[in-house]
Chain A
Amino acid sequence: MKIIITIGLLFVFIPTLSFSRGAKEEKPIRIALSGNPDTLDPQKTAGTLTFQVTKSIYDTLIEPDEKGVLVPALAERWDFQDEGKKILFHLRKGVTFHDGTPLTSKDVASTLKRIQDKNTGSPHGAEFSPIERIETPDPSTVILHLSSPSAPLMATLASGWSAILPAHLIEAGHDFGSRPVGTGPFKFKSWVRDNQILLEKNPSYWMRGKPKVPGVEFRIITERSIQVQGLLSGQLDVIDMYDAIDLPLLQKNPNVKVEKVLTSLVMVLAMNTARPPLSDLRVRQAINFAIQKQEVLDVAYGGGVPVGTFMDASDPYYVDFTSLYPYNPEKAKTLLQEAGVYADRTLEMVLPQNFEPHVRAGQIYQEMLQKVGLSVKIRLVDWSTWISDVYRKANYDLTVIGHTGKLDPDSRLANYGTDKTYVRWVHPEAASLITKAKSIMNPAERKALYSRVLEIMAKEVPFVYVGTSYRYLGTRKTLEGFRIQPKLDAYDFRYVEVR
């Protein structure tokens, strides 16, 4: 009897075995997304989650390559005229939207007007304010007339929020937020809120032979440990983490490979310089001397490179000032005494509780500051409270956060030196240098100005600039060509191949 059953089972199993070996799998790439995007309309949000998805659906006129250099995308080439006050874009020919309509200069003009329109409510709208007039002499040429030369504008046009939408759908009031239509490598298929977003290959994409995979499946998984399990068990192909805790687990698995890259984040301990005793430079210096940056990076942020100023370590504009404030607890104590700050003065550290690494870092800072005689009390707040209370109203003494980078240094540095930022650090020289650098097109000249700004910021320390953390990219071993756009953090699946 047993034998019969065994043979029977064999007959059932053998065909299935040969089946799964035979045909090569043509499955979409499954990637974990760490939250539900608020919308898929690139012009109505500032959320990274949105751009991580929309990068595959829409295209921009130009885009950054792997090193951050701007290269052609929908625009084949471009010229500056009139000392940078006029930009000519020559559009690529034969590009069509997912609904079959061809891309023309009209689409570009309508899209840019849509972003500038106050009713659209784009959080990035102000970045387009240099554009005074848009001219479309023929279907494949767009001329932007600027009020004054603007260096950050090119970076803006290469960012996800400048994605080109079809003019006829803009006019029709189409809901791009839930049914996006673009020219991108993948077409939108479905979006189950808080669960998954499905995209399928766009066979008529303008890059020949790309994309190579039949589709992309974004799985919305907020819990990091579940993402890790998903990758280990083969239910996910790509995960993107900011934490090194799970590395040993991933490295043990033969089917998974992990890649380490620097993020564009600057992790900081921000100080409210409008409030005493933090308004005293000596106190801020003391706090800088009291922090062991590498330790904080390793323990709280999964490793990274310490920085000494308000720029991430991999940025072309970065200047190394880490030697200004080395770890020196004795000096910190002396400075605090000079400033007349003793342990009975308690500073309040407000932490965004949904970001576990920042909460961990906050506790480490607290201990390090305690060692030099500064008492710190922690208050956890939720994210929306952090934004409204800390970031907008500057209602805090100390806080811990990471500043994301943008393609252009201006978006990181804009407003610093004025009282408009949450550190309330006022420095007229720095502020005027930042404004001046914005309109200078010569890269070397710009770099000189920004270097001076970064030096002032490094010396005046409105922050403890802790460092730039690593990002860990976990993928299946068989998967190749997955890219993340530098600074923008958007996922690029066009070059992905499964071996």
Chain B
Amino acid sequence: MRIRIRRKRQKIQKFFLFTSTVYLCFLLFAAVGSSYLAPHSPTTQNLNQRLLPPFTEGKILGTDDLGRDIWSRIVYGTRSLLLIGTVSVGIALAGGLVMGILAGAIGGIVDSFIMLLMDGILSFPTVLLAITVVSVLGYGLVQVTVALGIVFIPVFARLVRAETISRLTEGYVESSRALGTPFPKILLRHVLPNMMPDLIAQSTVTFALVVVIEASLSFLGLGTQPPEPSWGLMLKESRNFLYQAPWMAIFPGLALAATVFSFNYLGDYLSEQLNPQRW
């Protein structure tokens, strides 16, 4: 009985894993080949074809309040989504690595100072902090990307610091040190490769978070500027048409939910699989 349940669970797990991967691959494909997937321009208006329901007049997912094709907007929206996600996770990762290794490897007052700074940033609610950074830097795609990158540095910094400290005290590192290996080499050889699994998992989960916050910022009008397509912006625009044209909200919402789910699921799976300690 128990075995059967476990098998069933594994099956479900595999199914989710498969669909998540396929979905994310599809997103990547949509971002690269938007012009092949989207039959219409994402910004061209057609005021005679406003609020068309799905599957009418060649519009698969219908049109919005300005007669723009929703499917095309969703497809083109993947570009800003993946771009923002990748770049801001990149910024967060790079910043986190530098801060974390500095803090973990040097220790002492440097460690206290960096961690105080990181905890300071962490103590703000993420969205609020992102809004603050955006209002300092100005509205727009680039600013949002940088803001989100900065906001997530502490998460990575904490992870990297903890890993660095624990690796540095391990036996093989100590023996390597005793043999006279230079410190930078130890970091590169022993410390960094060992924290890779955790970093990959953390990046994936952070990616999902970034996507949600970018959508929230666009919803608030701080992120992507109209008429460029962004899922958050589409949700914002749909708000007034919920009763007449629910498809305006449903499809970008679904796409967003599926993206977040996929990234989270993949992140969990990766951290389980790649980390031998969690068996």
Interfacial residues, chain A to chain B (CB-CB below 8 A): 224-225, 228, 243, 245-246, 248-249, 295, 299, 353, 356, 359-360, 362-364, 366-367, 377-382
Contact in complex: B243, A225 (CB < 8 Å): yes
Partner of A379, one of B50, B139, B227: B139
Closest chain B CB from A226 CB (angstroms): 10
Partner of B66, one of A245, A353, A364, A378: A364
Q: Which residues on B sit within 8 Å (CB–CB) of A380?
A: 139, 221-222, 225-226
Q: Which residues on A sit within 8 Å (CB–CB) of B221?
A: 353, 380, 382
Closest chain A CB from B159 CB (angstroms): 35
Contact in complex: B226, A243 (CB < 8 Å): no
Contact in complex: B240, A363 (CB < 8 Å): no
Closest chain A CB from B167 CB (angstroms): 47
Given the known A-B contacts A353-B221, A378-B226, are A363 and B244 also in contact in the complex, defined by CB atoms under 8 Å?
no
**New A-B pairs, 6, CB < 8 Å, besides A225-B243, A245-B244, A379-B139:** A225-B239, A228-B243, A299-B47, A299-B50, A360-B66, A367-B45
Interface string of B205-231 (1 = CB under 8 A from A): 000000000000000011001110000
Q: Which residues on A sit within 8 Å (CB–CB) of B226?
A: 359, 362-363, 378, 380
Contact in complex: B225, A246 (CB < 8 Å): no
Contact in complex: B44, A299 (CB < 8 Å): no
CA–CA, A381 and B222, complex, Å? 8
Which positions 13-50 of chain B face chain A at CB distance < 8 Å? 43-45, 47, 50
Contact in complex: B45, A378 (CB < 8 Å): no
Q: Which residues on B sit within 8 Å (CB–CB) of A225?
A: 239-240, 242-243
Which residue of A is nearest B245, CB measured?
A245
Q: Which residues on A sit within 8 Å (CB–CB) of B239?
A: 225
Q: Which residues on B sit within 8 Å (CB–CB) of A243?
A: 240
Closest chain A CB from B171 CB (angstroms): 57
23 contacts between A and B (CB under 8 A): A224-B240, A225-B242, A243-B240, A245-B240, A248-B244, A249-B244, A295-B47, A299-B47, A299-B50, A299-B65, A299-B66, A359-B226, A363-B66, A363-B226, A363-B227, A364-B45, A364-B66, A366-B227, A367-B45, A377-B225, A378-B225, A380-B222, A381-B139
Which residue of B is nearest A362, CB measured?
B226
CA–CA, A367 and B67, complex, Å? 12
Q: Which residues on B sit within 8 Å (CB–CB) of A353?
A: 221
Q: Name, among B44, B227, B237, B239, the residue most crowded by chain A CB atoms within 10 Å (CB to CB).
A: B227
Q: Which residues on B sit within 8 Å (CB–CB) of A248?
A: 244
Interface string of B65-102 (1 = CB under 8 A from A): 11000000000000000000000000000000000000
Interfacial residues, chain B to chain A (CB-CB below 8 A): 43-45, 47, 50, 65-66, 139, 221-222, 225-227, 237, 239-244
CA–CA, A448 and B276, complex, Å? 88
CA–CA, A378 and B243, complex, Å? 28
Closest chain B CB from A241 CB (angstroms): 11
CA–CA, A362 and B237, complex, Å? 13
Q: Which residues on B sit within 8 Å (CB–CB) of A381?
A: 139
Q: Which residues on B sit within 8 Å (CB–CB) of A366?
A: 227
Q: Name, among A243, A245, A362, A380, the residue most crowded by chain B CB atoms within 10 Å (CB to CB).
A: A380
Which residue of B is nearest A298, CB measured?
B47
Contact in complex: A246, B47 (CB < 8 Å): no
CA–CA, A379 and B227, complex, Å? 10
Which residue of B is nearest A353, CB measured?
B221
Closest chain B CB from A303 CB (angstroms): 14
CA–CA, A224 and B239, complex, Å? 10
